[in-house]
Chains A and B, each alone.
Chain A
């Protein structure tokens, strides 16, 4: 079912998108997270991105695990259904939901604890299964909701609020995603709207599994001096390597790129994704070289951001499974129940 929502009464200054909706139509209840929490900026970027995409809000389904991050689907796209599931298991909920109805757009929100610790197994396997969704990890290097324990993405040597250093090497979800076969892998920073919004837009439109690791500082437990996930540390150590810019069919392409620096990728809805390389040696279409680059930088304490890997013409799990075009949840009984006559044949085969 697709219903185009009626535009609600609105402030004249609020800009409407192509389907006549304002940004407000993509908002939801007010966040109860700590003031300044990076996660709220991610929610704002999701709102902005979805509005700019002009997809009706109710055509999204939001899924999450447990954590401050996983609460955030409450705070965007209020007209979309959401599912705050259990800790680390959002991928399985997303997989089941996507199998049931492939026509919605799925946004998954998770945390670094949620995806890199308790849910690392599910994170790995949803990538293998190529579920068509935009999977965002609000990565703050800590367990916000349980008050500041180190998470598995926290860098070795990075300190807790009380000054205790983390003794273990981090799990880099970006590297894992590239290695495990994700077709869209990006990293960004909650404080960099310019970079994040186009990435979310592209991830939503991408057919296949799109992953964005968003460094999203926890002001309450991991924003101090000595933390490598604080606002100031991240600002000073990011290296954007590939800019993504989504050009909608209706947009006039105003920007002129320098020859050889831009890759243009057609998207399924007719828009075009322009990837602009900011680093000469970065190859966003080559899994091995992208992985090497990301890991080298990490060893040097630099955080590589941007659209880090993109596979064109990716397939998704419905393609792999060969499922019917009608969403499962819309199949009528006639297509599902083979009926009495067939059952009699089955009985016969068992005699």
Chain B
């Protein structure tokens, strides 16, 4: 039975072999044919020679989660051959380089084998060793175009636009595409039963990764300083900020920049610079991952107590530096929420899509200045580094930056006595002044908490308590400013709570569960501290599944901490293998729970 626009293809390559651009081109071609796609890069913490995989999921139904099994495997790495063959769905397609015959690891008779003598084709056509290596990847893309019945024009025009300006490269690339395509047309059964066909399912959407989206959000949000220290998977936030700012933030006449990027000596310094700039009235951010958050702890606490705005992007990854730095996880939740010492807590934004990365990034700068505190945008490798279909970015030109409560010279003139931490408005947020504003009014010495509300040095207990209580009052103001959770009621008896990239497989999971008679209401948490809708959702359900990509159910702890919810209320579904959580995993765990506990389903199904 022929299927259209509904498959997962995996490319197994060796890293450093130049496969990324060919694979990316393949994904983009599907996108340009109007087919919803998402991509997933699975790579080692290494520069050359180790296995990498690139996955593209095309789905007219927009099921974008990772699947354990794939429909098509392009097996270009002999070292992982066995593993790759095993990963094929029964009835799937195995594409391999048949130059040296049929590999002996191929021991499945339930898959279609498609041998293409890629190396041989290349050798006869190209003499430059570098081209021979690179064009292998292009050859299989060409073959796929025939096997999947893709529009060849889409590919050739992409090559033309990709190498515009380097015109010498266009012809050989197209030649390589043709080599693969012609071979397939001549010798293989084309098309396969898994096929694509042009559609119109993309609308105005874009294909982008979360890190680039966040960087653009930072530019639109008015960030002038990016201070950072390289760490996977956050590095491309700074790279994208540099790339776009160099175009969007340079004065056309003077060529001078309205931004600065500092690659700091470490993350302590990076966050210090952000805080220094924030203290002095400029919008600044840093991007990092778990190990960097650990190093930033002391400073984050200072910013919390001294009440200095700062924006941090934490693109989460698995474990420590010698953990699995190129794998995805949601395991920094608690270390971020409480980063530092002495009763600190920080608001968190939890985007799930590139569009939301953009929005939350821009919002974070308003929020940080409004609440005069660090704001941490938490994504993960899955969202940050993989291109995925997204709603287009939007900006309302009428929107004005919210610079929060800052007194200028005239304001200070009107004031009898200025007190930095006096809660004038009753919302727990005082008024800032910036250095240099007024000759005699508004200056103060910024320090942690050994001061009273007038910012005068004291170690008096009452003053300390007063300050801490005001910070808690501010916390409630923060709560009212955070984006609300996404709640969907489907008349289910049980609920499922999730956040961040767990959203990607969730529509598929909920659909599959529903087919099994398990209908779940759902809530995607988008921020912390939690809003009243979170309480309402939890109260409304007796049974709640809480899905997280960490071992220790960190969000469960946070919900208990912030709302006083009994943690026993939740059934945790935890995945922490370092790949993104799959729809099947969620479905299996929920179903298992129903079976083990003999729970009634909405509709009884045969199982």
Within 8 A of A (CB), among B194-208: 202, 204-208
Residue B378 is within 8 A (CB to CB) of chain A in the complex: no
Establish whether residues B393 and A347, one from each chain, have CB atoms under 8 Å apart when the complex forms: yes
Residue A39 is within 8 A (CB to CB) of chain B in the complex: no
Among the listed stretches B121-129, B278-286, B327-335, B536-544, which one makes contact with chain A, having 4 or more residues with CB under 8 Å of it?
Answer: B278-286
Establish whether residues B220 and A343, one from each chain, have CB atoms under 8 Å apart when the complex forms: yes
Q: Which residue of B lies closest to A96 (CB)?
A: B276
Q: Tell me the smallest distance from the CB of B374 to a CB of chain A, in Å.
A: 13
Alpha-carbon separation in the docked complex, A65 to B256 (Å)? 32
Within 8 A of A (CB), among B423-448: 433-440, 443-448
Establish whether residues B227 and A96, one from each chain, have CB atoms under 8 Å apart when the complex forms: yes
Chain B residues with CB under 8 Å of A5's CB are 439-440
Q: Tell whether A100 pairs with B277 under 8 Å between CB atoms, given A92-B264, A121-B265, A337-B395.
A: yes
Q: Tell me the smallest distance from the CB of A218 to a CB of chain B, in Å.
A: 21
Chain A residues with CB under 8 Å of B560's CB are none
Establish whether residues A329 and B281, one from each chain, have CB atoms under 8 Å apart when the complex forms: yes
Q: Tell me the smallest distance from the CB of B4 to a CB of chain A, in Å.
A: 22
Q: Tell me the smallest distance from the CB of A52 to a CB of chain B, in Å.
A: 18
Within 8 A of A (CB), among B95-110: none
Chain B residues with CB under 8 Å of A335's CB are 258
Q: Which residue of B lies closest to A93 (CB)?
A: B276
Residue A84 is within 8 A (CB to CB) of chain B in the complex: yes
Establish whether residues A81 and B433, one from each chain, have CB atoms under 8 Å apart when the complex forms: yes
Alpha-carbon separation in the docked complex, A101 to B283 (Å)? 12
Q: Tell me the smallest distance from the CB of B418 to a CB of chain A, in Å.
A: 12
Alpha-carbon separation in the docked complex, A95 to B272 (Å)? 8
Establish whether residues A340 and B394, one from each chain, have CB atoms under 8 Å apart when the complex forms: yes
Residue B168 is within 8 A (CB to CB) of chain A in the complex: no
Q: How many A-B residue pairs have CB under 8 A?
A: 237
Q: Which residue of A lies closest to B436 (CB)?
A: A104
Q: Which residue of A lies closest to B310 (CB)?
A: A96
Establish whether residues B299 and A86, one from each chain, have CB atoms under 8 Å apart when the complex forms: yes
Chain A residues with CB under 8 Å of B392's CB are 344, 347
Establish whether residues A86 and B298, one from each chain, have CB atoms under 8 Å apart when the complex forms: yes
- Indicate which residue in A4, A129, A323, A339 contacts B256 across the interface (CB closer than 8 Å): A323
Q: Tell whether A100 pairs with B437 under 8 Å between CB atoms, given A81-B446, A86-B298.
A: no
Report the interface size for chain A: residues with CB under 8 A from the other chain: 67
Establish whether residues A91 and B439, one from each chain, have CB atoms under 8 Å apart when the complex forms: no
Q: Tell me the smallest distance from the CB of B306 to a CB of chain A, in Å.
A: 8
Q: Mark B217-259, 1 if CB is under 8 A from A, else 0.
A: 0011110110100000000000000001000110100111111
Chain A residues with CB under 8 Å of B302's CB are 85-86
Residue A146 is within 8 A (CB to CB) of chain B in the complex: no
Q: Tell whether A93 pairs with B224 under 8 Å between CB atoms, given A6-B439, A336-B258.
A: no
- Indicate which residue in A3, A104, A343 contacts B439 across the interface (CB closer than 8 Å): A3
Q: Which residue of A lies closest to B399 (CB)?
A: A337
Residue B411 is within 8 A (CB to CB) of chain A in the complex: no
Q: Tell whether A337 pairs with B435 under 8 Å between CB atoms, given A122-B269, A342-B248.
A: no
Chain A residues with CB under 8 Å of B266's CB are 121
Q: Tell me the smallest distance from the CB of B240 to a CB of chain A, in Å.
A: 11
Chain B residues with CB under 8 Å of A101's CB are 280-282, 434-436
Q: Which residue of A lies closest to B306 (CB)?
A: A83
Q: Tell me the smallest distance from the CB of A5 to a CB of chain B, in Å.
A: 3
Residue A97 is within 8 A (CB to CB) of chain B in the complex: yes
Q: Tell me the smallest distance from the CB of A351 to a CB of chain B, in Å.
A: 6
Residue A350 is within 8 A (CB to CB) of chain B in the complex: yes
Q: Which residue of A lies closest to B254 (CB)?
A: A324
Sample of 10 further A-B pairs with CB below 8 A, known A4-B439, A101-B282, A323-B256? A58-B436, A79-B443, A81-B443, A89-B298, A95-B273, A96-B225, A125-B265, A129-B262, A329-B277, A336-B283
14 of the cross-chain contacts (CB-CB < 8 Å) are A29-B457, A81-B444, A89-B272, A89-B298, A93-B276, A96-B274, A96-B277, A99-B262, A99-B276, A321-B260, A323-B257, A336-B224, A337-B219, A343-B395
Closest 10 CB pairs of A and B: A96-B276, A92-B272, A5-B439, A100-B282, A329-B281, A96-B273, A81-B435, A100-B280, A96-B277, A93-B276
